[in-house]
Amino acid sequence: MEGMWTRFFPTTRAVRKAVSEGAIGKVISMTASLGFKSEPEFNQRLFQPELAGGALFDVGIYPALWISAILGVPDKVTAHAKMIDTGVDSQTFCTFEYESGAMAHLQCAFTGCLPNEVLVVGETGYIRVKGPPQAPETYTIVTRQGDEPDPLLCRGMSTTVTTPLDPPHFGLAPGYNFVGSQGFRFEAAAVQDAIGKGLKEHPEMTLTETLAMAKVFDDIRAQIGLRYPWDDQDGESAAPSKRQRK
């Protein structure tokens, strides 16, 4: 669960519940992005392979976390990236495909500010989560009303729900290390609850999902050519699994 704090935010839980209850019908597609503009003098770690730099592992995990939360582990992944001189990716775009026919698009970068939002599209509506996606506070659900055709949802009903962080603060709250870090308390509470129940994993972030998504990221690494020094030290590289390029 470490690092997967986003899964336990009230907004994340509410969106997953709405989708599972059929609020927007069968999910057919998703887009999720997280990116910002950075320079080496601002954050050198992002540019250094020896410190596991690159956009994929720094910010790409959060859009991926959203996609797996809604659609599960993909059956096929296709990835493209912009690599820089140090050998890490400065931006990576991925397409996740599912046997159900659903597709998802992941974007991550430190070359510029992306939309930094999550969009879940269903057959009868959609849900938009406003950023930053790693610490979501607001989502809007738009649904079709009645049985009359409304292909563009021009007459759709829109509802916005906001669960502000405590203390509420736009940007970096005083006394906290980075944007949204007040929200770590939700994961801490989930861990406490699981331990109290004698669980060895939390049902909202299972070990099986964690391992499966780690293998997805191995697929992505292999496709974009992202390697770290310890790949050679271990005598192994990020090898594609059966999910890659079916």
List pLDDT tens digits, range 168-216: 776 777 777 778 889 999 999 999 999 999 999 999 999 999 999 999 9
CA–CA gap between residue 98 and residue 117 (Å, rounded): 21
Confidence of residue 1 (pLDDT cuts 50, 70, 90): low
Query: Averaged over 138-150, what is the pLDDT?
Result: 88
Give Cα 186 to chain centroid, integer Å. Answer: 17
Check residue 244 and give its pLDDT.
42
The SS3 of residue 109 is strand
Check residue 232 and give its pLDDT.
80
Stated as kind and residue range, the H or E segment containing 12 is helix 10-20
Query: Averaged over 116-136, what is the pLDDT?
Result: 94
Lowest mean pLDDT among 33-42, 54-63, 96-105, 232-241: 232-241
Check residue 240 and give its pLDDT.
42
CA–CA gap between residue 173 and residue 185 (Å, rounded): 14
